[in-house]
Amino acid sequence: MRCFKYAKWLLLVLILWLSLAIVYLTLPPGECVDNDITFAQQLADGDALQRVYHTEEFIPREYRLPRVRRRLYLGLRFAFDRHSGVLRIRNEEVPLLPLLAPPSPSSPAPITADAGDAQHPHDPSRHSRLVIPWAKLGDTDGVNMPWHPVGDAVLLYALVSREWGRILLTVERAVTPPTDAQEGEVVLHVVPARMATQSEGTEDDAVPLGMPPLASLYFLPSPEGAEGYTLARVHFPPSPKSFGTSSYFPLRRALLSVLAPSAMLAMALAELAGQLIKFALIGLGIVALLWIARELWMSRHDGETGEGEDARERQTAVLRKALREVLGPLYAPREGGRQRERSARTLGDEERMEVKEEV
DSSP-assigned states of every residue in 84-133: TTEEEETTEEEE-HHHHSPPPTTPPPPP-TTT--TTS---TTTB---B--
Of the three residues 217, 246, 275, the one that is the final residue of a domain is 246
pTM (predicted TM-score): 0.67
Residues 228 and 354 in one domain: no
- Residues 114 and 230 reside in one and the same domain: yes
Q: Which of these three, 222, 246, 270, is where a domain ends?
A: 246
Same domain assignment for residues 278 and 347: yes
Q: Say how many domains are in the chain.
A: 2
Rounded to 5 degrees, φ, ψ at 329 are: -70, -15
Same domain, 35 and 58: yes
Q: Are residues 304 and 351 in the same domain?
A: yes
| Alpha-carbon span 220 to 212, nearest angstrom | 22
190 and 333 part of one domain: no
- What residues make up the domain containing 32? 28-246
Residue type present at position 92: E
Q: Are residues 334 and 353 in the same domain?
A: yes
Same domain, 205 and 353: no
Q: Are residues 66 and 185 in the same domain?
A: yes
The verdict on 4 and 60 lying in the same domain is no
User: 276-305 burial by CB neighbour count: b if 16+ within 10 A, else e?
Assistant: eeeeeeeeeeeeeeeeeeeeeeeeeeeeee
Picking from 196, 217, 246, the residue at the C-terminal end of a domain is 246
Residues 193, 95 share a domain: yes
What is the pLDDT tens value at each position of the chain, 359 positions in all? Answer: 566 667 777 888 888 888 888 998 889 988 888 889 999 999 988 899 999 999 999 998 888 888 888 899 999 999 999 888 899 998 899 998 888 877 665 555 554 444 444 334 456 568 788 889 999 999 998 888 889 999 999 999 999 988 999 999 999 988 887 888 888 888 999 999 888 877 777 777 788 888 999 999 999 887 754 567 889 999 999 988 999 999 999 999 999 988 888 777 777 778 888 888 988 888 888 887 887 777 667 766 665 555 556 655 665 665 566 556 555 555 555 555 555 555 555 545 545 555 444 44
Residues 156, 300, single domain; the answer is no
